């Protein structure tokens, strides 16, 4: 099934100039970029994106990190894109991520883990429209 998914290249990976390598990884694995932008997340945008985490112990640190520097947001599409992207990203903890995955190669820690990807069709639909409107998404 052809799916769309949201991916964020987080401030840590953007700051270390890994963006091009990460984009190449997705494209070389059959995913197509439908939308792409550089932005600085605001606390308000973070609250929309991470709504399910508001009030949790790690929320303030997460927002502080995600608003600390620019990030790259994108919509990727392809056959089983959600599962494919999550496999390419690897485990959240880079120490447990498989060799060759984005997090194994570019993440620093569980907190600074280089990328975010939607975890299912419902979250992808919700997250994509937090970062992009329909005029910014191309086929």
Q: Determine if the pTM surpasses 0.85.
A: yes
Domains and CATH numbers, the chain: 2-136 (3.30.70.141)
Angle at 3 between CA 67 and CA 5, to 5 degrees: 5
pLDDT in tens, 82-104: 999 999 999 999 999 999 999 99
Annotation: binding site for ATP: 10, 58, 86, 92, 103, 113
- Report the C-alpha gap between 68 and 66 in whole angstroms: 6
At 14, the pLDDT band (50, 70, 90 cuts) reads: very high
53 included as an active-site residue: no
- Report the C-alpha gap between 104 and 34 in whole angstroms: 26
**In percent, how much of the chain has pLDDT > 70?**
100
**Count of Cβ atoms closer than 10 Å to residue 15 Cβ:** 14
DSSP readout, 59-128? HHHHHHHHTSS-EEEEEEEEETHHHHHHHHH--SSTTTSPTTSHHHHH--SSSS-SEEE--SHHHHHHHH
pLDDT at residue 102 in the model: 98
pLDDT at residue 82 in the model: 98
* Active-site annotation holder among 49, 53, 112, 116: 116
């Amino acid at each position: 099934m052809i799916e769309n998914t949201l991916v964020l290249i987080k401030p840590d990976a953007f700051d270390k100039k890994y963006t091009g390598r990460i984009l190449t990884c997705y494209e070389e694995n059959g995913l197509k970029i439908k939308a792409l932008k550089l932005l600085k997340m605001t606390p308000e945008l973070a609250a929309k994106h991470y709504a399910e985490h508001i009030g949790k112990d790690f929320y303030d640190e997460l927002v502080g990190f995600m608003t600390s520097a620019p990030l790259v947001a994108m919509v990727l599409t392809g056959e089983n894109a959600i599962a494919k992207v999550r496999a390419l990203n690897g485990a959240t903890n880079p120490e447990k991520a498989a060799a060759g995955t984005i997090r194994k190669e570019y993440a620093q820690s569980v907190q600074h883990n280089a990328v975010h990807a939607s975890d299912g069709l419902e979250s992808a639909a919700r997250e994509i429209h937090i970062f992009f409107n329909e005029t910014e998404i191309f086929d």
